[in-house]
């Protein structure tokens, strides 16, 4: 790809006097060679960039590195993300077409340019959009709909009637559409509640390896456009996750919770069911969220509280030994005053 095309993709242009050249890829400052581009998102890495053999570097506007061909942009980390996608390998995961050992029901509709890996099973009335890539040992059950340009990695399981949009990534070991954890209790025994809903995943959603998304009881469990889930995230039945929300690893969301748009959720955070998390809020790692969170609010801790309140509590706890000594001293003074 030409350096000028990369500059155009970043919304900038080549510096004056720089000759256009072919760029073969993107790499770290330490690993880049004379045919690769790199980026500088933090000043901590400026020395590494200065000594790099890279062909060019993506930098923040006004922070050019002397002696380097610099493409200036508002946010070099975002620029890195965009250019990394340009160089991403989008070839079929297991070669073109369907592997001979794949089992594809005759009623399934497979779009143009779809590739299917070995030993994958595709059920009745499944529809898969153009250029989607299905890995090996995947199971895609009946009446599932998968859009165009999706990537379903090896070992993923997509249960029946799941609806998936375009450009969705589902990594290995993920299970989409498993039964929710619903049980009634009778005479100290549990009675299982079947789930009749499904899972709906909108465009540009990423789901990490080993994550589990339960189907709804009657309605759908929904992941809105642009949501990003890390590995080992559990989303229970009838949960709705808003647009562009990001959830880090090992978070667990109980049934019927509503999570708004652009929410940031730290790793191992846990949510009780039937609560609402407002747009643009922040949930810290390992937070235990048992109540609604307002729009824009930042909470952390167990139980989850306002982040600044919790910081003050933690600061006070650090002074407890000193405060206890002070209390003992004051008690002695009071007792002495009483004796007088």
Instruction: List CB contacts of 287: < 8 A, sequence separation 6 or more.
Output: 266, 269, 270, 299, 300, 301, 302, 304
C-alpha dihedral over 135, 139, 141, 145, to 10 degrees?
-20
Cα four-point dihedral sign 334, 336, 338, 340: negative
Query: What tokens appear for 142 in the block?
Result: 């009946």
Cα four-point dihedral sign 16, 22, 23, 29: negative
Q: Are the CB atoms for 132 and 170 separated by under 8 Å? A: no
H/E stretch holding 107 reads: none
β pairing state of 183-186 and 189-192: antiparallel
Query: What tokens appear for 275 in the block?
Result: 């609560």
> Which residues on adjacent β-strands are paired with residue 185?
190
CA 80, CA 93: separation in Å to the nearest integer?
24
DSSP three-state, residue 222: strand
Q: Are the CB atoms for 260 and 295 separated by under 8 Å? A: yes
Q: Are the CB atoms for 172 and 190 separated by under 8 Å? A: no
Q: Write b or e for each residue in 130-166: b if 16 or more Cβ atoms lie within 10 A of its Cβ, otherwise e.
A: ebbbbbbbbbbbeebbbbbbbbbbbbbbbbbbbbbbb
Residue that the structure tokens 């029946």 belong to: 160
| Active-site pick, 137, 234, 237, 274 | 237
Alpha helix ranges (H) inside the chain = 3-9, 46-50, 76-86, 307-318, 320-339
Residue 237 among the catalytic residues = yes
Residues with a known catalytic role: 237
């Amino acid at each position: 790809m030409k350096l000028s095309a990369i500059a155009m993709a970043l919304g900038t242009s080549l510096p004056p006097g720089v000759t256009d050249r072919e760029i073969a890829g993107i790499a770290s400052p330490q690993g880049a060679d004379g045919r690769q581009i790199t980026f500088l998102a933090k000043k901590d890495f400026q020395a590494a960039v200065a000594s790099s053999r890279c062909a060019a570097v993506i930098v923040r506007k006004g922070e050019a590195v002397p002696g380097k061909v610099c493409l200036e942009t508002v946010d070099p980390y975002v620029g890195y993300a965009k250019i990394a996608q340009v160089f991403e390998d989008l070839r079929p995961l297991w070669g073109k077409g369907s592997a001979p050992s794949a089992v594809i029901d005759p009623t399934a509709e497979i779009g143009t340019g779809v590739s299917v890996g070995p030993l994958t099973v595709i059920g009745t009335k499944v529809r898969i959009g153009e250029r989607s890539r299905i890995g090996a040992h995947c199971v895609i059950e009946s009446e599932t709909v998968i859009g165009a340009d999706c990537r379903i990695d090896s070992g993923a399981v997509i249960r029946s009637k799941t609806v998936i949009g375009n450009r969705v990534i589902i990594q290995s070991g993920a299970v989409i559409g498993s039964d929710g954890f619903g049980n009634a209790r009778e005479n100290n025994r549990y009675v299982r509640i079947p789930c009749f809903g499904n899972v709906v995943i909108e465009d540009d959603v990423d789901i990490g390896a080993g994550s589990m998304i339960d189907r709804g009881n009657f309605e759908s469990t929904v992941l809105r456009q642009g949501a990003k889930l890390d590995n080992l995230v559990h989303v229970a039945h009838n949960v709705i996750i808003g647009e562009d929300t990001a959830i880090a690893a090992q978070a667990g969301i109980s049934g019927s919770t509503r999570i708004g748009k652009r929410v940031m959720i730290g790793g191992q955070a846990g949510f009780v069911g039937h609560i609402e998390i407002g747009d643009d809020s922040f949930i810290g790692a390992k937070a235990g969220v048992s109540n609604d969170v307002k729009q824009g609010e930042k909470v952390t801790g167990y139980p989850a509280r306002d982040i600044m309140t919790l910081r003050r509590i933690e600061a006070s706890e650090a002074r407890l030994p000193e405060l206890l000594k002070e209390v003992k001293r004051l008690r002695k003074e009071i007792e002495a005053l009483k004796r007088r």
